[in-house]
Amino acid sequence: MLNLQLKESLENFLKDHGKVFILGIGNDMRGDDAVGPILANRLFSEFQTQTDVVVVNGGSVPENYTGTIRRENPSHIIFLDAVEMRKETGHVKLVKKEEISNYSISTHAMPISFLIKYLESAVDSKIILIGIQPKNMEVGQDISKKVEKSIEEVFNGLKILLKS
């Protein structure tokens, strides 16, 4: 389970939520960069019948889903991605939208900070990033064990907080 401080921060972020849009970001062929797609796929299976949670695997082109986000018009947006934080492998952090540009995020072309600026002008949503510290993002590598454990913790935490 997520540590208490992280759980409380996520609960606070999700307080009084309407529709929640979850976007997994990353390249599933680059080791720990697969964090976002793996979580998105698992969460999609968990929430596919729940109308107040929309989950999309954005892969390495999350900007392709701005139209979907606009149409869904969520109250809350959660990005899931590998984030270089210079912390121990598997460290999980809730990164506020104002702090996102301070971190090296995944391997996609468009910085998430640009995507957020666009979304802020298009939808009235609270936005946060759940980042997991990667160990290895080389092509052809497997997910590291500590990152696998963190994926499980984030999955279980979101499942508990968002199940209606």
- pLDDT tens per residue, range 59-116: 989 999 999 999 999 999 999 999 999 999 999 999 998 887 776 565 556 677 788 8
Amino acid (1-letter code) at residue 62: P
Q: CATH number of the domain that 83 lies in?
A: 3.40.50.1450
Q: Is pLDDT of 148 > 80?
A: yes
The mean pLDDT value of the chain amounts to 91
> Please, what is the end-to-end C-alpha distance for the chain in angstroms?
19
User: How far is the C-alpha of 162 from the C-alpha of 164, rounded, in Å?
Assistant: 6
Residue 116, pLDDT score: 85
User: How far is the C-alpha of 52 from the C-alpha of 18, rounded, in Å?
Assistant: 7
Read off the DSSP letter of residue 74.
-
Q: How far is CA 64 from CA 25, 30, 67, in A?
A: 11, 20, 7
Where helices occur in 26-142 by DSSP H, the ranges are 35-47, 66-72, 112-122
Residues making up the chain, counted from first to last:
164
| Residue listed under structure tokens 């793996």 | 38
Do 44 and 24 touch, CB atoms closer than 8 A?
no
Domain count, the chain: 1
Q: Is pLDDT of 162 > 80?
A: yes
- pLDDT tens per residue, range 123-140: 999 999 999 999 998 887
User: How far is the C-alpha of 138 from the C-alpha of 107, rounded, in Å?
Assistant: 10
The model carries a pTM of 0.93
User: Which neighbouring-strand residues pair with 25?
Assistant: 59
Full domain range(s) for residue 152 = 4-162
